[in-house]
Structure 1
Amino acid sequence: VNILDISDESGYIEALGKRATAEAVQQARGDVAEQEKTGEMRVAAALRDRTIGVRDAEREQTVRVAELDKARSIGEETAGLERDAAIKEAQRTTAIRIAELEKEQKIGEETAALEANARVKEAEQQTRIAVANANATAIDGESLAQANVARARATLRIEEAEAYQRSETRQKEAEAAVVEAANRAQARAALADAERVEAEQRAALEAPAKAQKAKTIVEAEAEAEKQVISARAEAEAIFARLDAEARGQFEILARKGEGLEKIVKAAGGSKEAFQLLMLEHIDGLAKTAAEAISNIKIDKVVVWDSGTGNNTSNFITGLAQSLPPMMNVLKDIGGVELPEFLGKLVPEAAANGQATGNGQPSRDAGRPPSPEKVEAGKIAESPARISKGDTA
């Protein structure tokens, strides 16, 4: 059965055929392109290998040619240097030999010339020596003759000079004697003139000085006498003032002694008089005692009382006993015992509530001091503020 055409209404089968055809075509084209690429790569690789081989061969050829050229150049230069060295060595040897020959020639020539000059100089020397000897002999004769002539002339000149010196010396001595006599006369005249001027000036200066000295002495004596008189007057005034003050103090003390004597007699003794005088200062002592405790700062005092009143009275009693009584102060400090009509000191045992002489406690024990005792003892009031608290 030959199937010529297969199709459907939707064209699906035809599309499948086209798809397969397209894939086959694309596959074929890819294979062709792949083969073409592989062929081109092989051709390029072959060309590259050929080019590299050619270049390697050319490089090796160039290196080999350069090495051969280098070896040839080195050989040529070495041969040239060796040839030049041989030439230079031959030239140096030739020059050295020529120089040695020339030196020997010059030495011979100079030696011959020196020998000839030496012989000539020796001949000239002998000639000059002979001439000099002849000249010396002639000069010696001439010098001896001239010396004799000069000696004679010198002797003549010496004698002439001595004669001239003697004449000039005597002349100068005479002139000097004349000048000396004139100078001595002038000196004596000048000395006399100077003494005259000095005497005149001294007289002119001493006269005012002596007058001033006399004036100064008189003024000094007058001033000294004036100061002596002033000092004597001042001393007498001071003595009079001090004497008056001493007399006044003496009178004051005498009157005070008389007054004290009268007070002692009136009081009946010195102790009583002292106590009486101390009474004048009771106010000041009381004020001082009050100030001693007035600066104590007691802001608040709380007293707990059970209702019987004993605690409060005991507190006031202790406070009164803690204050410095005036009578004790006067007795302990001033040694003054006030009269009994002013007040009486209570014994410490009775004040503290202890037993009396019959064994019974004092009725005043535990009680505050009476107004009379407070007045008699001059108890200073304390600035403390007392407040009564509630019982617990």
Structure 2
Amino acid sequence: IESIGKKAAATAVNAAKADVAIADRDGAIGSAEANRARDIQVAENEAEAEKGKKAAKADQRIFVQGQEALAIEGEAIAKANIAEYNAGLAEKEAEAMRRAEVARRTAEMEVQKAQYLLEQERLRADEIVREEIAKTQIEIAAEAEAERLRRIARGEADAILARYTAEAEGVQKVLEAKATGYKSLVAGAGGDPKAAATLLMVEKIETMVAAQVEAIKNLKIDSITVWDSGGDGDGSSTSNFISSLVKSLPPLHDVAANAGVELPEYLGTMSDKESSE
């Protein structure tokens, strides 16, 4: 009984130990599993935490980069706006400068135009003064020349008038003297005007004969050659030529008859043959 009791006690003790061991084992396993699960959970939690940190950092970086990008974009837009503003300002300044330059040049052109017009007016005034002076000088010279020509013409007219007056007076005196002489001649001819005219013609016979002699005095007889058949028996060819030449001169009686004057008989008479010839 004691042995059975001890055996039972030992069995109970061993069973208790086994149970304790199993319980220890199960406890250790549970503890290990709990630790592992805890570690896994901790690791997972840490991983999630790290992931969250990384995600947060990434989000932070993304946000920061986004903000930086936005800042850069804003800066670029601001710079573009500034550049556009500066360009517009430069254009406006250039336009203002261009307008100012145009206005300056326009003003200079207007000034030059005004100076040119003023100079033209001055030159025109000088030219008008010179022309007026020249015109006055020409008028004075023309008036002086006209006065000189008038005086010369007046002097020439007076001289011509005096000459014509003197000539007229001389002619009148000559005519008066001739009239007195003709009157005396007619009275000396017994009051016969025809006889007086005959006497005047007789007075001019010498002049008429001299004119006939003058007509043939330079004729060179020795240089004249007459070609004929030797004459008609009444003279030589040369003598006949001279006779014909003399006969061709107007006889005195014909000249007197043409003047309506009959020469006296002591100067000879014209035969019928000579008259017919």
- TM-score of the two chains, using structure 1 as the length reference: 0.31
Quick check: which one's helix share is greater?
2
Larger RCO (alpha carbons 8 Å, 6+ apart): 1
